[in-house]
Amino acid sequence: MDKKFKYSIAIHGGAGAIPKTVPEKDKKEYIYALKDILQYGKELLEKRHTALDTVELVVNKFEDCPLFNAGKGAVFNSEGRNELNAAIMDGRDRSCGAVTCVTRIKNPISLARIVMEKSPHILLCGDGAEKFAKQHGMKFVRNSYFFTQKRYDQWLKMKEKDITALDHSSDLTNSAKGTVGCVARDIYGDLAAATSTGGMTNKKYGRIGDTPIIGSGTYADNETCAVSCTGTGEEFMRTVAGHEIHSLIKYKKMNIKEALDHFTVKILKPDTGGLIAVDKYGDHAYSFNSKGMYRGSADSEGFFEVRIWE
Ligand code: ASP
């Protein structure tokens, strides 16, 4: 296949049972934020930034936006605190970094990148990750920085019922949405993926989902594709989602869209969530088996689209 794209990018802001009856005002707010973030990422790639820099900077923007379940606006765990997870992967050499259960790092994806670049390790957790962050001059915030009333009210409801839920499981009027992710192919032909999340509402203290697990929620390899997932993390871990997409392309010779659809229809449990991906040719795709997924994609050929439902 010819490399027809100079660059491509795809983003997601979470998947779940998003009802079509969402108030117009809320819908507009999400669409506006997604467009703004996608445009930002597209411009970075146009200005010759690497895929790796682009996915980090795009996810930083998501983390700073209270509408999404990452950084500011993250969901609460069963103890009423925010515990954040993030991972980044560079398709050039499969180097990667991840952090989990951090509670005071403003931009967890940037800490994941520092773990990748400045440590011999891949995954650091909790206090250890924060100690490492301090040594590297990362920006710290109080845990209360992540507070949003919507998320807190959502947690109180879940706590009362004693259930754990995807932040997308209730309607937009009482819950903001989604784990965030970005995948990109840059003008040099390199791929990268980044995912960041607060996890699931009312999750057990210390629970870790798919996002920071390389090969599950986040994966990138120049040989095939870059992938970022969102939905019930346990299912993406069970199916090793990111690496599964890589394998379907590599060994089954599927194209990116076939691989994603095969995965969400045949492998993933129904109503679990979705994924976004770009491949080495710059083709971009998404697939989900939940009601909706906040997402967008753009490329050098002028394609630019943001959507919530099919
Ligand atoms: N996958 C995330 C987790 O399980 C949640 C999400 O995507 O909303 O932690």
Q: What Cα–Cα distance (Å) separates residue 278 from each residue in 27, 180, 241, 245?
A: 26, 16, 15, 11
* Strand, helix or coil for residue 293: strand
pLDDT recorded at residue 173 = 35
Q: pLDDT digit string (tens) for 58-102?
A: 999 999 999 999 999 999 999 999 999 999 999 999 999 999 999
Catalytic residues: 179
Q: What is the mean pLDDT of residues 28-32?
A: 95
Tokens 């784990």 locate to 179
**Mean of pLDDT values over 236-259:** 98
Summarize the chain as % helix, strand, coil (round to 5): 35, 25, 40
Which of 242, 183, 197, 215 has the alpha carbon at shortest distance from 52?
183
Domain ranges of the chain: 3-307
Strand partners, 274: 230, 288
Confidence band for 168, pLDDT divided at 50, 70 and 90? low
**Which whole number is the average pLDDT over 260-277?**
97
Q: 149 — alpha (psi -120 to 50), left (phi > 0) or beta?
A: alpha
Work out the pLDDT band at 165, boundaries 50, 70, 90.
low
The per-residue pLDDT for 258 is 98
The count of residues in the chain is: 310
Amino acid at 96: C
Strands 95-102 and 284-288: unpaired
Task: Determine contact, residues 141/104, Cβ cutoff 8 Å.
Answer: yes
Closest CA to 63 of 276, 172, 211, 174: 211
What distance in Å separates the CA atoms of residue 107 and residue 196, rounded to the nearest whole number?
Answer: 9
Task: Write the pLDDT tens digit of every residue in 11-26.
Answer: 999 998 788 888 899 8
- Ligand 1 lined by 209 (C-beta under 6 Å): yes
Residue 310, classified by CB atoms within 10 Å of its CB into exposed (0-12), middle (13-18) or buried (19+), is exposed
The highest-level CATH class for domain 3-307 is alpha beta
pLDDT the model gives residue 179: 92
Q: Is the CB of 200 under 6 A from ligand 1?
A: yes
pLDDT at 158 over 90: no
Average pLDDT over residues 288-305: 96
What spacing in Å lies between the alpha carbon of 114 and ligand 1's midpoint?
22
Q: Does 278 score more than 80 pLDDT?
A: yes
- pTM metric for this prediction: 0.94
In testing the pocket of ligand 1, which one of 78, 83, 101, 179 has its CB within 8 Å of the most ligand atoms? 179
d(CA 239, CA 262): 13
Residue 176 has pLDDT above 80, yes or no: no
> Is the Cβ atom of 8 under 6 angstroms away from ligand 1?
no
181 lines ligand 1 (CB under 6 A): no
Average pLDDT over residues 232-254: 97
- Confidence at 172, pLDDT banded by 50, 70, 90: very low
Q: Give me 43's structure tokens.
A: 């411009």
Tokens of 147: 């507070």
Is the pLDDT assigned to residue 3 strictly greater than 80?
A: no
